[in-house]
């Protein structure tokens, strides 16, 4: 199976969620099911059916996280020798020459991406256009909104 790149922070975040689901959420749902069974007829017991549905979601998420972690190629960018080249995990400051605005992005795995927090997926058009380039380069990237011209100002590994 193919390994999926993931930052150390992303893996830690998934491990925390997995721990929460197994040690807190799963026991809560089990208690809800036991309590709902005490109400009687299970065919018409909406609390029981809701708790079982929550159990299904929780178990599905646990399996999903375990699969992601088992296929993850965890990359700790702080252990990479600094250079001016953009790679997975790098934090890149760019000047969007189309709108004359500076932006900073961190290139992360698909599961970690959150554009509102400037965490962009390695598979996004912007990240694909920046990877392999160096500080000072001007890059034209085809995005869903059209061509955007970026000047790479700074590359950091934090």
Instruction: Give all domains of the chain, ordered by start, each with its CATH number.
Output: 4-75 (1.10.287.180), 77-156 (3.10.50.30)
User: Three-class SS of residue 117?
Assistant: helix
What's residue 2's pLDDT?
76
Q: Rounded to whole angstroms, how far apart are CA atoms 111 and 18?
A: 14
Question: In whole numbers, what is the pLDDT of the chain averaged over residues?
Answer: 91
What's residue 69's pLDDT?
93
Q: Rounded to whole angstroms, how far apart are CA atoms 109 and 112?
A: 5
Q: What is the DSSP letter of 131?
A: T
What's residue 102's pLDDT?
95
Number of H helices, E strands in the chain: 4, 7
Confidence of residue 144 (pLDDT cuts 50, 70, 90): confident
Q: What percent of the chain has pLDDT over 70?
A: 99
Mean pLDDT of 16-37: 94
Q: Rounded to whole angstroms, how far apart are CA atoms 93 and 78?
A: 17
User: Three-class SS of residue 1?
Assistant: coil
pLDDT tens-digit readout, 63-76 = 999 999 999 999 98
What's residue 1's pLDDT?
55
Mean pLDDT of 99-126: 92
What stretch of H or E contains 146?
Answer: strand 146-156
């Amino acid at each position: 199976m193919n390994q999926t790149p993931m930052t150390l922070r992303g893996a830690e975040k998934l491990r925390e969620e997995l721990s929460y689901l197994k040690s807190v959420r799963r026991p809560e749902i089990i208690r809800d099911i036991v309590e709902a069974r005490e109400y009687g007829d299970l065919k018409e017991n909406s609390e029981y059916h809701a708790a079982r549905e929550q159990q299904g979601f929780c178990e599905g998420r646990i399996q999903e996280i375990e699969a992601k972690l088992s296929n993850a190629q965890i990359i700790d960018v702080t252990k990479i020798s600094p250079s001016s080249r953009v790679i997975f995990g790098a934090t890149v400051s760019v000047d969007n020459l189309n709108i004359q605005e500076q932006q900073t992005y961190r290139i992360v795995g698909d599961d970690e991406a959150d554009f509102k927090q400037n965490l962009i997926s390695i598979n996004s058009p912007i990240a694909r256009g920046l990877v392999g380039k160096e500080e000072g380069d001007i890059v034209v990237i085809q995005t869903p909104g059209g061509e955007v011209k970026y000047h790479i100002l700074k590359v950091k590994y934090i």
